[in-house]
Amino acid sequence: MADYLLIESRDPFESAEVGGFLDLAEGLAKEGSGVTLFLVQNAVMTARHGARPTVPHNGRVLSLAALATNGVRVLADSFSLQERGISPNRLIAGVTVAPLSAVVDQMAAGCKALWH
């Protein structure tokens, strides 16, 4: 079973496609694959404590906490958080702050990498 690295760069408030990407992460994890979801750029907006991406116009978007519960390792880029003034202490449960080098680590380890 392959391991996957899914890199999300958009937030669900700007792109309705984010829901499908998170669904993919959940589906791969449920099939038994190791899945890392790395949030970078505006995608870290989703990780803010209190963010509600499951608003009616984007109802397919899963919560990050639910993804983490379902076995997806959810990481948020520390630089992107800092750029946007988001405190690493105010993130949704299940989201871990990580440097961008985590992406290179996963690529070097042979994870199948997909950017959205």
Partner 1 sequence: MADKKTLTFLLMDAPFENARTTTALRLIDIAARRGYDINVFAYEGAVYLPLAAQAKHANAVHGTDAAEEDHPLPREWVEAVMQEAARNGGKLDWVNCGLCVDERGATESVAGVRRGSPADFWKMASTSDNVLVIPTR
Based on the shown chain and the rule CB under 8 A, indicate whether residue 9 belongs to the binding site for partner 1. yes
Write out the two tokens for 106: 């996963």
The residue among 1 and 108 lying less far from partner 1, judged by its C-beta, is 108
Opening angle at CA 43, ends 17 and 89, nearest 5 = 145
Based on its alpha-carbon atoms, the radius of gyration of the chain, rounded to whole angstroms, reads: 13
The residue among 55 and 107 lying less far from partner 1, judged by its C-beta, is 107
Based on the shown chain and the rule CB under 8 A, indicate whether residue 36 belongs to the binding site for partner 1. no
Based on the shown chain and the rule CB under 8 A, indicate whether residue 46 belongs to the binding site for partner 1. no
Indicate which single residue of 16, 30, 79, 87 sits in contact with partner 1 (rule: CB under 8 A): 79
Per CB under 8 A, residues contacting partner 1 are 7, 9-10, 15, 40-42, 79, 100-101, 103-104, 107-108, 110-111, 113, 115
